[in-house]
Amino acid sequence: MNAIFQPKFQLKAAIVAGVSLGLGYVLQNHVDVPQGHVLEWIALSIGLVYGIKAAADSLKDRKFDIDVLMAVAAIMAAYVGHPEEGALLLFLFVLAGALEDLAMEKTRREVEALHALMPEEALVFRDGEWRTAKPEQLVVGDVIKIRPGDRVPADARITVGESGFDQSAITGESMPRHVKPGDELFAGTINNDDPVEAEVIRVASDSSVQRILNLVTSAAAQRAPVQRTIDRLGQPYAIGVMVLSTVVVLVWWLILNRPLVGDETSRGALYTGITLLIVASPCALVIATPTATLAAIARAAKGGVLFKGGQSLQRLASINALCFDKTGTLTFGRPRLYEVHPVAWSDGDELLAIAAGLEADSTHPIAAAIREAARSRGVETLKPDSVNHVIAKGIEGRVNGCPVRLGRYSFVEELIPVCFRNRVKEVLERMQERGHVAVSVAQDCSSHEGGGQAAVLIMADSVRPGAGTLVSRLHAIGVKPVRMLTGDNALTARRVAESIGIDRFDAELLPEDKLKIIRSMRQEDHLRVGVIGDGVNDAPALASADASIAIGGIGAAAALESADSVLLTDDLSSIPWVIRLARQTSRIITFNIFFALSVIASMILITIVGSLMERHVPMSFGVLAHEGGTILVVANSLRLLFVKGFERRPNV
């Protein structure tokens, strides 16, 4: 039985009720099929299943709220011969409830997304041999082995070996971090290269991933749900309407000596009370928000932004400052080779072919960038005679019988002709000062004609489309400051910030640091802050912000679940547009609520005064006013479907 009250089933039931109601109306009013009213009763019955349960649950909790009023209004509407009114009211009630419950289910997945970072087992040295154990069974002082491709099971310190670790999930740093004995490893990071041994320094429950999980849970719990406001206003309203209707019936009957039931020529007290209850039923008020919200969500989806619910739209509409992560958000999160700088090389394509051959089997991001550049330029890879990976230095081999090296300058220097070494170092230093990634490559062919050759491969994490005009367009709509928060190094952060005009940037941050900055901006600067990010390291900031957007293309699952909304494309041009859409939605919702309340108040006054003057408001007029107000509210909301889309602009 409980299955029918699950959100997905409830959504399907709402759709069936809506289709039945619409079809019944068409059959009765346009096809002249009297049996169409049966479909209206079916729609009403479906709605009552959920409406009566909601009302019963409220009464069970000793609350007389808007759920109770809607159920009573629907039943009374059917009693006076207008089942379509009750069916429409309950259809919207069931639909809104289903969508809200589905949105709530998403928030529970953030815990699962964070836990997915942790491996299921660890390799630990105990009793003179390597054994597998659960990460939660590790204790401080245990020696663990992390093999290539393994995730670190607990925060630890390297004791034996050197390797490169992908820690972008924790720090957001775009390049793997080279670690050696004495360096600390974060739980959840991935070993890219060689096996290492490490000593556990914190148990799994105190690890970096667990701290992020705690931050997300705490930040999410501090949000004041919009539902509290609805409940707080709904109960007094519902009680007031019921009391008013009851008082009118009693006063009209007992004091004014009006008949209780009456007839077609003399409307009774009960007729007036029911009319009052119908005109005061909050159908237009109830749909004032969900219709605008659904229209805005549908329009935003066409523009590449997915909202998780109405609260997400309302929060985004209120922001006046915005913070961005860098890696994977403002940038693609991976290096791209954009220049081959030959210092002593006759053929740049030959250099790229040799470099791609050396890196053919490597999983390092630099290797991937070199191979991608060779493919895009149509350069055929030269297969080396031999290849040897040298830990923390680079890669070497032989091509056409000549030794070749690629990597750090100190490793490649031996093969660089002496007369070109200063030039290579100069290029490397200049690129590093600009925040670029640069590696050296050299080939010693002194025993062959042509001698030695050397070059510098220059790479950078390029910005996403739309980033070039992003800041100026945000300033134009009153969002300022625009700030960048990143775990990457300061030089790289400065390069990206200056290239797109960021107002302020903070680099080399951990998740805790980002959260402190967000809280400071909110509490000390009194700003309403939005956060846009993509990684697990962004999840606490996303959860604590006034509004948050996750980059969906390559975003981590925890970030997507922590955020209010998700950017589905790589184009950042949609962000200013969707903020304007959220603000327009907020204005329409405000107007809808004001209009709905005005109609209700006016009809209550007309109904009471008309009855006192024995000029009773016909039930049909009350229904017309009620439906007319509803239609106008819906029509006003649907304008959001036709909001013009954003213009994709080239980067500058």
Q: Beta-carbon neighbour count of residue 526 at 10 Å?
A: 8
DSSP-assigned states of every residue in 444-486:
--TTSTT--EEEEEEEE-PBPTT-TTHHHHHHHTT---EEEE-
**Nearest-CA neighbor of 165 among 206, 208, 215, 110?**
208
Q: What share of the chain is helix, strand, coil (3-state, %, to 5)?
A: 55, 15, 30
Contacts for 145 with CB less than 8 Å, ≥ 6 apart = 123, 124, 125, 130, 195, 196, 197, 198
CA distance 253 to 261: 9
Helix (H, G, I), strand (E, B) or coil at 650: coil
Distance CA 440, CA 455 (A): 6
Q: Give the tokens for residue 21.
A: 């109601």
Helix 283-302 and helix 66-79: axis angle, to 10°? 110
Instruction: Name the β-bridge partners of 532.
Output: 324, 549
Torsion-angle region of 571 (φ positive above 0: left; ψ -120 to 50: alpha; else: beta): beta
State whether the Cα torsion 335-340-343-349 is positive or negative: positive
3-class secondary structure, 337: strand
- 22's CB contacts (< 8 A; 6+ apart) are none
Beta bridge partners of 403: 398
Write down the H helix ranges in 262-420.
269-280, 283-302, 310-318, 348-358, 365-376, 409-412
**Residue 196 to residue 182: CA distance in whole angstroms:** 12
Which one is catalytic: 142, 150, 325, 488? Answer: 325
Q: How far is 133 from 125, CA to CA, in rounded Å?
A: 10
- Going by C-alpha positions, the residue among 91, 93, 96 that lies closest to residue 18 is 91
Catalytic status, residue 444: no
Q: Are 341 and 602 in contact (CB under 8 A)?
A: no
Q: What are phi and psi of 571, to 5 degrees?
A: -90, 115
Which residues are the active-site residues?
Answer: 325
